[in-house]
Amino acid sequence: MPAKKSNRRLALGLVGLVAGMFGFGFALVPLYGLICSATGINSVGAGGRHITESEVKSLGVDAQREVRVEFDATLSTGLDWEVRPKVRHLEIHPGKVYEVSYFAHNNSDHEITAQAIPGITPWQATQYFNKIACFCFNQQKLAPGESADLKLRFVLSPDLPRKYHTVTLSYTFMNVDRTGLRHAVSSR
């Protein structure tokens, strides 16, 4: 009898441990978002903040200063797209609005919906990089063989500390269709 009781206690403990780990896994997603928004580190989904045209006017342009803004794009595994910035870098004046485009092409034989996840380096510049309009605000759907120009309008705040001379905006494009992704990976 004592062995049965011991086995039962062990089984209940293991079930409790699995349930706790499962709950902890779900809690990590909002916890990660909270930590990232509080610290500005790896601000997934943010990559700078959204700003309105009227807010831009209050910034003022620093015509005496130039900052190099570099643009980059990467694709997650299984996304059969070609994506590249049409301009690799700009020399900009903080406070002035700029517009750039990314070229995207679906190389596959089926429709794919993707989401661009922005990242800014150095991460300390994230709070100074403001997007007025960005393709990253919405998912992008491309038919087989379809191409698109993805627009980005942004302004870099004049409050960016002077020690930063270069800011890189990088997008990672991810396939939002998990079933299509599993099919693409398994067919390799």
User: Which range marks the domain in which residue 5 is found?
Assistant: 1-39
What amino acid is encoded at 134 in this protein? C
**pLDDT tens-digit map of 151-183:** 999 999 999 999 999 999 999 999 988 655 455
Cβ–Cβ under 8 Å, residues 39 and 62:
no
Whether 27 and 55 share a structural domain:
no
Domain count, the chain: 2
Tokens representing 177 are 């269709």
Whether 133 and 172 share a structural domain:
yes
44 belongs to a structural domain? no
DSSP state letters, 106-127: E-SSS-EEEEEEEEEESGGGGG
pLDDT band at residue 42 under the 50/70/90 scheme = very low
φ/ψ (deg, to 5) at 75? -115, 140
Whether 33 and 64 share a structural domain:
no
pLDDT band at residue 38 under the 50/70/90 scheme = low
E strand intervals along 15-64:
49-50
Whether 34 and 57 share a structural domain:
no
151 belongs to a structural domain? yes
**pLDDT tens-digit map of 84-105:** 999 999 999 999 999 999 999 9
